[in-house]
Amino acid sequence: MDLEKLIQDKIELTLRQKIISSAVGILQERKDVLRGEKKKEEEAGFGRIARDKEDIVTRIDEAIEILEDGTGRLQTVLETELD
């Protein structure tokens, strides 16, 4: 593999890592908002809506886990290519 291709691949993988990291940040923010809304819904007596929001938070947690796993794999690829 030539140096130019290696540098191009590293840049591409680094950009993907940054995109994934940004997506995780956005999902974390949305999760925090939903948790706040859920608490208000529970206090207002809207249990079903609160449960629906908790289900969404659970799905967001699963998505974050998948994205973080992908980031870990990208990091491994970056480290391997640089060796």
pLDDT at 75 (0 to 100): 80
Which pair of structure tokens corresponds to residue 69?
């796993």
Contact 53, 37 (CB under 8 A): yes
pLDDT at 82 (0 to 100): 64
pLDDT at 1 (0 to 100): 58
pLDDT < 70 stretches in the chain: 1, 81-83
The CB-based long-range contact list for 7-14 (8 Å cut-off, 24+ gap) reads: 9/81, 10/78, 10/81, 10/82, 13/74, 13/77, 13/78, 13/81, 14/78
Distance CA 72, CA 8 (A): 19
pLDDT at 9 (0 to 100): 83
If one counts every other C-beta atom within 10 angstroms of the C-beta of residue 38, the result is 19
